[in-house]
Amino acid sequence: LMITLASVSTLFLISIIVLIAMQCSKTMDVSSKYLPETNYDGTLCHSIQYRSGEKRYMLIRYSIAEEVKEGTVVGQIAKDLGLDKRTLRNRGYRIVHGSTEPLFQVNQDDGILYVDRKIDREEVCERSKACVIELKTFLDNPLEVHYVAVEVLDVNDHAPSFPENEKILEISESALPGARFQLQAARDADSGLLSVQHYAINQNDHFRLEIKDRGENRKTPILIIQKSLDRESVKTHHLLLTAIDGGKPPKSGQMKISVVVGDVNDNHPVFTKDSYSVQLQENTALGTTIIQVNATDLDDGANGEVVYSFGNDVDREVQEYFELNSLNGELTVSGILDFEERNIYEIDIQASDKGPTPLTSDKSVIINIIDVNDNAPEIEVNSYSKALPEDSKSGTTVAVITVKDSDSGINGKVLCFINQDVPFALTPSVQNNMFSVVTKTPLDREKQSQYDVTIIAKDAGEPSLSSEKNIRIEISDVNDNSPQFLLTPYTFYLTENNSPGDSIIKVQAADQDEGNNALISYHIFRGGDNFLSSFLNINPEVSDHSLFGLDRYTGRIRTLRSFTETDEAQHKLVILVKDNGNVSLSATATVVVKLVEPKEAISAADLKSAATDIGDNGVTFYLMITLASVSTLFLISIIVLIAMQCSKTTDVSSKYLPETNYDGTLCHSIQYRSGEKRYMLVGPRMSIGSTIVPGSNGNTLVVPDRRSTSTEVRLLTCRRGDAGIHSSRRIVCPPLKRRIVSMRAE
C-alpha cells in the first residue's frame, strides 16, 4: 500500500510539473497583441492604411540586406497591401522610379516585390545611419497610391583602410609622458556597428593608444607617450596600428607608423579661443574669408613660429570646399556649397611650430550652412492619360504629378497651378506636393481637339523660383453630332422622256465628327420602315420609290425609268443619312422632283439660277443693268430667229419640190393611194414603215405605236395636199406632237 501511494504521488507531482512547464512555455510563446509583426529576417513590418473616397493609400515597410542577388524576394507586396493578384496586370500596378535606375520591381502575376539589381548600401545611402528607400506604387481603375519603404541593412562587406600605408611621425625626446598625438583615422564604408569600432597597436613600452569617440561612429586613434623617449637609446620606434570593425567575424586594416625621436622643442602652439563656430550662406562667393584662427607658441625662433594645416582627420571632400592659409590661419571658400547636400562641416585645424620636432595642437571649426532659395521646384508626371474622350465628366483625372523642392523651410513650400484658360484644373492630393490634373468643364472635340497644358510650380522663397511642365492632352471623338444636309429641301426639274439611269441630282451631308463617326451613308426612306418612322417626322405624301435609285455613298439620285406626260407632275423623296458611330445618328432631307417639258425646264432652271444669284449677291445697280442687257439680247435673238424661220418658209421655189431639213435630209413622208386607202409613214427614227389605217369617217389616221419604252415620243399633226385618184400624196409634217393624224378631204 505504501509503494502504491508513493507511486501515485510521484505521478501526480510529475503531471503537475509538466502542466506548469507547458503553461509557462505557452505564456512565453504567445505573441502579444501589442508586439508588432516581424518578417522572416526579424525586422518589423509596419502597415498603415488610409482611405479617402475612391483613392487608397497604404504605407508598408520591408527590410533586406545589401548585396543580395538579383531576384531576391523582398516581400509579398500584393498580400501585405490586401490586393487581388489577378487584377495587378489589368490595373497596371507599377513602381514609379523617377529618373534613377530602378532597384526593385514587382511581378504583376504573383504580386511579389523583388530585387532588380544588386544593391550597394554605401553607394545608395553613403554614410547614413539608416538606409531607407521609399517607393511609390500606383494602380489604376480606381487610382490607388501605395508607399513602400525598404530598409537596406548593412553587411560587413568592407574592411577598414587607412589613407596611407605608412606614416612617419616625428616626436621630440622632450615630450613628456602623457603627450598626445592624433593619428589618421581609418575609413570603413560600412555604417553603424560594422564601421571602425576599435584601434590597437603592437606591444610597446613607450606608447599606448587611446580612442577618441567623435560621435556618429567616428573614432580617432590618439597615440600617447607613456614613457619618456631617449633619442640616444632608440632613434625610431616602429609601430603597427590596426583598425578593427564590429563585424562578425571582424575585418581589419593596418598602417605602419614610424616614430622618429627629435630634438628638444617643449612648447605646443595654443589656440587663442576654446571653440570656433560660424554660419555661412550656401551661395557665398568663392574666395570669401570665413574665419581666421590664431595660435601662439612660447618657444623662440623657429620653434615658436606657427603654421596651420588641416587635421589628419579632414577628408578630401572638405578640402575641396575650403582652403586654409598656412601662414595666417584664414579659412576661405574654395568650392560651391550646397545646403541640400550637406548643412554642417566640422573641420579640424592643426597648428604646428617650426621646431626641429614640430609640436602641434588641433582645434575644430564648426561651419553651419544656411539655406537660400537656390533650387527651383521640380515637376514629375507620375501618371498620364494622353487621350481623353470628349464626353468625360467634370472631375475626371487626366494626370497625377508630384512637385519637389530641395530647399528647406519656406523656400521649400511649393504652390502649383495652371495659368491658362483651359478646361482643366489642379486639385491637391492627401499627400504633400502631389496634385491631380482633372477636367473642370465639358469638352468638345469639334471646337478644340488638343490642349497644351502648362503646369507652373512656384516656391515661397524670396525671390521666388518657378518651373513649368507642359503636357499635351488629345481629345478623342465620340459620336455626338448628327449628319447635316447642306440644303433642304432639294428641288429639281426633270424633263419628260428622259433616259433611264440619268443622274438628276446629288444630295450632300456632312458630319462634324471624325473617323468612323463621320462616315455617312444615304438611304431612300421607305414607308414600311416602322422603326425609323417612330423617330422621324416624315411627310406622308411621298412618291413611289421605285421610280428612283440612290447611291448610298455619293448621294447621287438616278431615275429608274423614263418619265412621260402621264406621270405625276411632282414627286417627293425623303432621303435619310446615317453616320457609322456605335450609336448611329441620322438626319433627313426632302427632295422634290418636278416633271416639266423641255422649255419649261429651261425657264425654271433660269429662274432658279437668277433667284439664286440675286439671293447670293444682292440686287445692285450694276446687276440690274446686266440683267436688262441680257434680256434685250435675248429678245433680239428671238426676233432674228423668227425672221429667219419666216424667210425660210416663204422661200419655197416650187410646191412640187420636197421640203428639206437644215442638213438637207427629207422630212417625214406619207404615201397615199386612193384605191387602197393606205398610208405609209416614213421617218428617220423608224426602221420599218408604219401602216396608217384611216378612221371610219375617212379623215382620221391612226398611227400604231410600236415604240419601245425607251423610244422618244413625238406627236404630229399632218395636212393633206391636193391629190388625184391614183396620185401619190406626200404630207409634210412638222415635229410630232400627237399620236392621231387627222386627214380632211377637200
Residues 90 and 136 in one domain: yes
pLDDT, mean over the chain: 77
Q: Are strands 330-333 and 322-324 parallel, antiparallel or unpaired?
A: antiparallel
pLDDT in tens, 507-534: 999 988 888 888 999 998 876 554 444 4
Residues 324 and 229 in one domain: no
Q: What percent of the chain has pLDDT over 70?
A: 75
This prediction has a pTM of: 0.40
pLDDT in tens, 212-250: 887 766 789 999 999 998 877 888 999 999 999 888 889
pLDDT reading at 51 higher than 90: no
pLDDT in tens, 307-338: 999 988 888 888 999 999 999 999 999 999 98
Residues 451 and 491 in one domain: no
Assess if residue 627 is contained within a domain: no
| Confidence (pLDDT) at 390 | 87
Q: Where is the domain boundary, 550, 576, 596?
A: 596
Q: Contact 228/177 with Cβ under 8 angstroms?
A: yes
What is the Cα–Cα distance from 573 to 596, expressed in whole angstroms? Answer: 17
Residues 517 and 421 in one domain: no
Q: Are strands 144-153 and 55-65 parallel, antiparallel or unpaired?
A: parallel
Total tally of structural domains belonging to the chain: 6
Assess if residue 427 is contained within a domain: yes
Among 154-158, 448-452, 569-573, the least confident range: 154-158
Evaluated on CA atoms 545, 546, 547, 549, the torsion sign reads positive
pLDDT in tens, 348-359: 999 999 988 888
Assess if residue 670 is contained within a domain: yes
pLDDT in tens, 155-169: 878 889 898 999 999
Q: What percent of the chain has pLDDT over 90?
A: 22
Assess if residue 660 is contained within a domain: no
Q: How confident is the model at residue 291 (pLDDT cuts 50, 70, 90)?
A: very high
Helices (H) and strands (E) in the chain, counts: 7, 46
Long-range contacts of 11-19 (CB under 8 A, 24+ apart): none
pLDDT reading at 662 higher than 60: no
| Cell numbers representing residue 371 in the block | 539655406
Mean pLDDT on 557-585: 88
Residues 149 and 80 in one domain: yes
Residues 54 and 128 in one domain: yes
Cα separation of the two ends of the chain: 176
Residues 320 and 386 in one domain: no
- DSSP H/E element including 14: helix 2-29
pLDDT reading at 259 higher than 90: yes
| Three-state DSSP string of 517-566 | HHCEEEEECCCCCHHHHCCCCCCCCCCCHHHEEECCCCCEEEECCCCCCC
Assess if residue 201 is contained within a domain: yes
Q: What are phi and psi of 29, to 5 degrees?
A: -90, -15
| Confidence (pLDDT) at 438 | 92
Assess if residue 633 is contained within a domain: no
Mean pLDDT on 662-686: 47
| Confidence (pLDDT) at 248 | 87
Q: Where is the domain boundary, 596, 626, 644?
A: 596
pLDDT reading at 411 higher than 70: yes
Q: How confident is the model at residue 672 (pLDDT cuts 50, 70, 90)?
A: very low
Residues 195 and 109 in one domain: no
Highest mean pLDDT among 116-125, 286-295, 446-455, 709-718: 286-295
Range of the domain at 727: 665-746
Residues 385 and 466 in one domain: yes
Residue ranges of the alpha helices (H) in 294-445? Answer: 316-321
pLDDT reading at 653 higher than 50: no
| Confidence (pLDDT) at 702 | 42
Residues 330 and 277 in one domain: yes
pLDDT in tens, 129-184: 778 888 888 888 888 888 888 888 878 788 898 989 999 999 888 888 999 999 98
Assess if residue 158 is contained within a domain: no
Q: How confident is the model at residue 95 (pLDDT cuts 50, 70, 90)?
A: confident
DSSP secondary structure code for residue 205 in this structure: S
**DSSP codes of every residue in 350-374:** EEEE-SSS--EEEEEEEEEEEP-S-
- Greater confidence (393 vs 26) lies with 393
| Confidence (pLDDT) at 601 | 52
Residues 672 and 704 in one domain: yes
pLDDT reading at 497 higher than 50: yes
Q: Contact 733/716 with Cβ under 8 angstroms?
A: yes
Assess if residue 684 is contained within a domain: yes
What is the Cα–Cα distance from 582 to 443, expressed in whole angstroms? Answer: 20
Q: Are strands 252-262 and 166-172 parallel, antiparallel or unpaired?
A: parallel
Q: Where is the domain boundary, 596, 612, 647?
A: 596
Residues 238 and 283 in one domain: no
Q: Residue 440's domain is classified under what CATH number?
A: 2.60.40.60
| Confidence (pLDDT) at 543 | 58
Residue type, 543: S
Q: Contact 144/138 with Cβ under 8 angstroms?
A: yes
